[in-house]
Amino acid sequence: MVCEKCEKKLGKVITPDPWKSGARNTTEGGGRKLNENKALTQGKNRFSPYSSGKFVKCRVCKSLVHQIGAKFCQGCAYKKGICAMCGKKMINTTNYRQSSS
């Protein structure tokens, strides 16, 4: 759940690229280098969420939030009726019957 103000901050929808136009395993587009030593460049190409600090923890349940820029996970935002990015109240959930799982 994201409010109208925070919809602008969301990333673009990922669509598949045609083969070779955005592929990383070709040499034409600058993706793969010839005679590359993978032992030296392997750590730079891999994404590690725990060491880089890109993923933050949810303010309610302390689980990892995979949405960039969000402060609450989707489950907690839905249960509380708030925006996942800014925390603004969107829906009154007092009369809703929601489980904790």
Q: pLDDT tens digits, residue range 23-72? A: 655 656 555 666 777 677 666 555 565 665 567 899 999 998 888 788 99
| 11-20 residue pLDDT tens | 665 555 566 5
- List the chain domain ranges: 1-6+53-96
CB of 42 closer than 8 Å to CB of 55: no
Q: How far are the Cα atoms of 8, 36, 51, 94 from residue 46, in angstroms, in the given order?
A: 28, 16, 11, 44
Burial label, 78 (beta-carbon count in 10 A; 0-12, 13-18, 19+) = middle
| pLDDT the model gives residue 93 | 87
Q: How far are the Cα atoms of 10, 40, 55, 57, 76 from residue 84, in angstroms, in the given order?
A: 11, 38, 14, 12, 8
